[in-house]
Amino acid sequence: MRLGSNMSRIRRTTQDLHEEAKKHIAAARAFHTVLIAQSQKHLHVLAGFTRHIDVLREERRHAREKLASVQACCQELASLRRLRQPWRDTYEDLRRSLSRARALLQRILNRSRKRTGA
């Protein structure tokens, strides 16, 4: 709840801002690690397409084989779709953590400049 007077606002110390920034940086590192793992899953699923797409491209393959390959690709595509939302969510978490860390670090630098007159 925000009151009208400046007396109600609690000014955080520079140390508090540093600590909060560290938390956001640690969170960003964790989200980055998760994105790498999720991207590896994406690559694994995409690699599964290769064999099936090669079958589709070969002229000498029978229609039954091509149909089986298309069906397999559709299953791989469904796997890829399931991976999409967790990746987006983690990306948004990473973006948010980095934005907050940037804002806090900018506040710290602005305070420092005001104190030194730079």
CA 18 to CA 12: how far, in whole Å? 10
In a domain, 89, yes or no: yes
Does a structural domain hold residue 49?
A: yes
- Quote the distance between the C-alpha of residue 1 and its chain's center: 32
Q: How far apart are alpha carbons 26 and 33 in whole angstroms?
A: 11
* Residues 18-34 pLDDT 10s: 999 999 999 999 999 99
Any domain includes 84: yes
Number of domains in the chain: 1
- The amino acid at 93: D
Q: Which residue has the higher pLDDT, 10 or 75?
A: 75
Asked if the structure places residue 22 within a domain, the reply is yes
pLDDT of 109 higher than 70: yes
pLDDT tens, residue by residue, 53-104: 999 999 999 999 999 999 999 999 999 999 999 999 999 999 999 999 999 9
- Going by pLDDT thresholds of 50, 70 and 90, the confidence category of residue 9 is low
Structural domain includes residue 9: no
Q: How many CB atoms lie within 10 A of CB 60?
A: 5
Q: Is 86 a member of any domain?
A: yes
> Is residue 85 situated within a structural domain?
yes
Decide if 6 is inside a domain: no
CA-based nearest residue to 55, from 80, 41, 76, 39: 76
pLDDT value for 46: 93
**Where in the sequence is the domain holding 41, given as residue range(s)?**
15-112
